[in-house]
Amino acid sequence: MAPDVSVAGDDVKVNYAAHIRFWRRNLKTFLPRHYTGNDANRMLLGFFILSSLDILGDLPSALSPEERQGYIDWVYHCQLPEGGFRPAPVTNFGAARNDDNKIWDPAHLPGAFFALLNLVVLGDDLTRVKRRELLLWLTKIQRPDGSFGETLGENGQVEGGNDSRFGYMATAIRWILRGNLEGTVDGIPDIDVNQLVKCIRSAETYDGALSEAPLHEGHAGFTCTAIYALSLMDRLPVSKPDGRVRGLTNLPMTLSWLVSRQTLTIDEDDSMDTLGDETDSAATCHDAHSFVKLQEYPSLQGLNSFEGEPDSHAELQWVGVNGRLNKIGDTCYAYWVLAPLFILGHEQIIDKRPVRRWLLEKTQHMVGGFGKASGDHPDIYHSFLGLLVVTMFGEAGLQDVDVVLCITNKAKRHLESLPWRRKLLGQNEEQSHETGG
């Protein structure tokens, strides 16, 4: 197939009006009851909502000055007296909070990460953030093996998983509050960067991905957040070794794993390749085109299932993206798989158009937002990540984004222009006139 031929579906558009309605509804009305399971993640939900409206260019008109200030105050309301943020008011004991019970209302890593991002998107200057306390706390939730946990529990015990999601959020907080500086800054010690890099490397898999823990299965989410953490610490591979410990020991293998996540299996109906029939056919192997010749049917079951089926029913028009081998395409993995390719500078090794067609024709929902797979109802998580993907593909009419921080470049420039941050990073006044605003 010639690469530049226009295909039906190329003219499909982002339904801007529907997306704006969807996100405004999420912002201004109560979320439906089924979000109760995310009650402890409201800082994250709030961020997905605000950043989506920002990407859609609607945030300035969606918020009155009073509302904007109200949301900023809500985020600060989640800041703890000792520094750090809770991810929602669920554990706030109010006046009853004391030294004996504050352990049940702890500072929370994703809480702090999404709180900072919310403040940046809302245009706050972060001066009310207890920055020293937050940075110091960051060094305490890093374990000796380099990994980061989620909270500090009893006796300073680091609680929560030790996978790269937390490494990503920790390095992002560090970048937001102290840029690329390494070592002690302003009397506050740094996290152990080398140890985190080693920890990330220890979770590289035999097929080039990254996993939750050493020797576990490669997974796009962990691969993406590991690459982000390396990027935020400036520890991605370079062509000439410079003596620093760096991540991704086999970049070509990682690239191969990432591009292999593109799949033609985009409906539950055609995911029969996982259902116990070992036979290859166009119906079982959508990762390949119509091609593979069937040598023979190794089982009677295979023969019965596939005899007489056309060699090709899969179309190249839509290409989905999965998060692991032999799984069905899922909107969120278009982000977790393709965004790291942008960060690695290799976005040209995928064809964006069939992925865009899949997202806009199959998982974009008519009420706005995106669902997980074809025909699914939209939810906040898939809607945000789907929108990020079409934005990073350069969709007209959307604000360009920083794919690592998941905010518009406009919001990122606001952060970079803040006087306290410029001062800390030794950026002088003249530069501030050039790039500020």
Nearer to other proteins, 233 or 281 (CB): 281
CB of 207 to other proteins, least distance (A): 4
Give the three-class secondary structure for 408.
Answer: strand
Residue of 125, 190, 192, 212 interacting with other proteins (CB under 8 A): 212
Separation between Cα atoms, residue 208 and residue 356, nearest integer Å: 25
Nearer to other proteins, 101 or 304 (CB): 101
Fill in the amino acid letter for 302.
Answer: G
Residue of 238, 288, 303, 367 interacting with other proteins (CB under 8 A): 288
Residue of 106, 146, 340, 371 interacting with other proteins (CB under 8 A): 106
Residue of 285, 338, 398, 403 interacting with other proteins (CB under 8 A): 285
CB atoms inside a 10 Å sphere around CB 150: 21
Nearest CA to 28 among 57, 77, 61?
A: 61
Task: Identify the DSSP state of 320.
Answer: E
Residue of 217, 268, 307, 309 interacting with other proteins (CB under 8 A): 217
- Does residue 305 belong to the site contacting other proteins (CB under 8 A)? no
CB of 365 to other proteins, least distance (A): 20
Contacts of 144 (CB under 8 A, 6+ apart): 195
Applying the rule CB under 8 A, the residues between 12 and 71 that interact with other proteins are 26, 30-33, 35-43, 45-46, 49-50, 66-67, 70-71
Separation between Cα atoms, residue 238 and residue 54, nearest integer Å: 34
Nearer to other proteins, 157 or 184 (CB): 157
DSSP assignments along 194-261, one per residue: HHHHHHHHHTB-TTS-B-SSTTSPP-HHHHHHHHHHHHHTT-S--SS--SS--S-S-HHHHHHHHHTT
Contact 132, 82 (CB under 8 A): no
Q: Please, where are the H alpha helices in 317-379?
A: 331-343, 352-357
Separation between Cα atoms, residue 425 and residue 180, nearest integer Å: 8
Separation between Cα atoms, residue 75 and residue 111, nearest integer Å: 10
CB of 66 to other proteins, least distance (A): 8
Nearer to other proteins, 319 or 406 (CB): 319
Applying the rule CB under 8 A, the residues between 220 and 239 that interact with other proteins are none
Separation between Cα atoms, residue 427 and residue 425, nearest integer Å: 6
Contact 211, 205 (CB under 8 A): yes
The count of chain residues that interact with other proteins, using the rule CB under 8 A, is 98
Residue of 216, 313, 377, 413 interacting with other proteins (CB under 8 A): 216
Applying the rule CB under 8 A, the residues between 316 and 355 that interact with other proteins are 316, 319, 324-327, 346, 348-351, 354
Residue of 262, 363, 374, 391 interacting with other proteins (CB under 8 A): 262
Applying the rule CB under 8 A, the residues between 119 and 158 that interact with other proteins are 150-151, 153-154
Nearer to other proteins, 179 or 353 (CB): 353
DSSP assignments along 125-183, one per residue: --TTS-HHHHHHHHHHSB-TTS-B-SEE-GGG-EES--SHHHHHHHHHHHHHHHTT--S
Residue of 155, 184, 239, 295 interacting with other proteins (CB under 8 A): 295
- Does residue 309 belong to the site contacting other proteins (CB under 8 A)? no
- Does residue 207 belong to the site contacting other proteins (CB under 8 A)? yes
Of 12-20, 51-59, 133-141, 215-223, the window that binds other proteins (rule: CB under 8 A) is: 215-223
- Does residue 11 belong to the site contacting other proteins (CB under 8 A)? no
- Does residue 270 belong to the site contacting other proteins (CB under 8 A)? no
Nearer to other proteins, 175 or 223 (CB): 223
CB of 172 to other proteins, least distance (A): 19
Applying the rule CB under 8 A, the residues between 158 and 187 that interact with other proteins are 159-161
